[in-house]
A = this chain, B = another copy of it.
């Protein structure tokens, strides 16, 4: 759970997925052996052993990893080509760069900054961008750069352009930590890295504005939060994590929202951690998540 930087030295994470077929696991593990690496952990899943799709996450340790990464990559290309598999190899000692977009709410933002400082998120945080200024001081007290990009008026293109200017080249994924602006399709195309969002969710669903008020009116007994990758269908992207909290009739819509904040910060933190550790594989509108949850 805690990220020990020294423990990540010379460690790589290999993601392999594609059409399931006999021999694929043997081929991958033989490759690891002949490259003098030791398997640290291995998770795999096949949605149908007969003709389904196969997913594998393998973490290995190889002394002097950075020197031999090109050799291992070449071996992977040769070995996996006949199987038609997609793969991705990541040096775990190089944390991903995570930019955060926020608005006025601090609960998700501060939880990420604090878990990062605590050494529980294997990321660097190059910047926090907000369309408001109230979180600036908190962000900077963690030693993280803060940029204010206001987004007034109906035309958001100017604000998005400024944000893109800050982000492009500087981030490996973007987290919307209760960022209350709609992201345009054009922005998604141009930022070209995964974008993770968090939003409230209910049983049953209350779509549109004022969901906590609607949930109150229907007398729901659970409120929840969902973290997902942002796609052009907005809040319909592949789900990474969800959770709920119990509520009752004594709680006002404001109380539901306050309690929901605790669910949101926990759900988003787990989603971010799993993404940072290459535990999430997107597959159509689903995710395969090799979680570290007991």
Contact = CB atoms under 8 A, between A and B. Distances in A.
Contacts of A205: 203-205
Interface in A245-264: 246-251, 254-255, 258-259
Contact of A26 (B30, B45, B46, B244): B30
A294 B247 contact: yes
Contacts of A285: 217-219
Contacts of A289: 221, 248-249
Interface-central residue, A46, A138, A219, A241, by most chain B CB under 10 Å = A219
A61 interface: yes
A235 to B, nearest CB: 8
Contact of A294 (B45, B203, B221, B226): B221
Interface string A280-292: 0000011111011
Contacts of A37: 22
Contact of A45 (B217, B247, B250): B250
Interface residues of A, number: 72
Interface centre among A23, A36, A243, A247 (most CB of B within 10 A): A23
Contacts of A1: 251, 255, 258-259
Contacts of A226: 203-204
12 contacts: A1-B258, A22-B36, A22-B38, A23-B33, A26-B33, A38-B49, A39-B49, A41-B45, A201-B203, A203-B242, A204-B205, A249-B289
The 9 closest A-B pairs by CB, nearest first: A219-B286, A248-B294, A205-B205, A26-B29, A26-B33, A204-B205, A221-B242, A201-B203, A1-B255
